[in-house]
Chain A
Amino acid sequence: GQQVMQIPQYQHVQEGEDFTTYCNSSTTLSNIQWYKQRPGGHPVFLIQLVKSGEVKKQKRLTFQFGEAKKNSSLHITATQTTDVGTYFCAGPTGNQFYFGTGTSLTVIP
């Protein structure tokens, strides 16, 4: 079955430093979605990427979809304490969404 892996599993950064999480799928994806989950909260949708090589930006967040549509990345510039949480990628197979293992981000003030 499909597997979606994310690295790193944990990341601690000083406030103001950049952060990147990588997502890799064992199969080609039709699209990929990114979610953020605050501690004690539920996942919240951030963005969807559909096209090969697509790059989208949301303020300090930059999302990329690989050329082969099997990998993706999320980059946060100049992290803030409000960025704390776990970031998940999710890729569909049929009508099912498989979530990555997540990257937990801690921002040290």
Chain B
Amino acid sequence: NAGVTQTPKFRILKIGQSMTLQCTQDMNHNYMYWYRQDPGMGLKLIYYSVGAGITDKGEVPNGYNVSRSTTEDFPLRLELAAPSQTSVYFCASSYRGRNSPLHFGNGTRLTVT
């Protein structure tokens, strides 16, 4: 099993550009999450999903959008990239939400210049 797979690993964007961070999991987990981690800081929840077709905002959703059309995939969309979105983005999944561990992908390191 691959677990949680994120692509790309690295990306440099210019201000105003758009991109989609891909996340897919093969563990049949219903719950999926997107976090961002700024240097030397903790993880902030951007969006999460409790199942296909259901998404909800986390702590820092502004500037991002998500969709969950299948159980496996949970892409994160940046529409108008800003320098404040320079960060490392982690996708995670869990089997039973609050009562089970989060499985993280390897992360996407995004720089907006």
Residue pair B107, A42 in contact (C-beta under 8 Å): yes
Which listed residue (A1, A43, A44) contacts B43, Cβ 8 A? A43
- Least Cβ distance of B7 to chain A in Å? 14
Residues on A with beta carbons closer than 8 Å to the beta carbon of B101: 33, 45, 48
Residues of chain A within 8 A (CB-CB) of B50 are 95
Interface size class of B (residues with CB under 8 A): 20 to 34
If A33-B101, A42-B104 touch, does A96 touch B58 (CB 8 Å cutoff)? yes
B-contact 0/1 string along A82-107, CB 8 Å cutoff: 00000010101011111111101000
Question: SS class of chain A's interface: helix, strand, loop or mixed?
Answer: strand
Chain B residues lying within 8 Å of A98, measured Cβ to Cβ, are: 45, 59
- With a cutoff of 8 Å between Cβ atoms, the chain A residues found around residue B102 in the complex are 33, 35, 43, 45, 90, 97
Q: In the bound complex, do residue A44 and residue B104 qualify as a contact, i.e. CB atoms below 8 Å apart?
A: yes
Q: Which residue of A lies closest to B30 (CB)?
A: A95
A-B contact count (CB 8 A): 59
Rounded to whole Å, the gap between the CB of B62 and the closest CB of chain A is 15
Q: Give the most central of B40, B98, B102, B103: most A CB within 10 Å.
A: B98
A31 contacts B98, C-beta separation under 8 Å: yes
Any chain B CB within 8 A of the CB of A30?
A: yes
Q: Which residues on the A side are within 8 Å of B58 (C-beta)?
A: 96
Give B contacts to A, CB under 8 Å. 31, 33, 35, 40-45, 48, 50, 56, 58-59, 90, 92, 97-99, 101-107
List 11 additional A-B contacts (Cβ < 8 Å) besides A42-B106, A102-B41: A33-B101, A43-B102, A45-B102, A48-B99, A92-B97, A92-B98, A95-B50, A96-B45, A97-B33, A99-B35, A99-B43
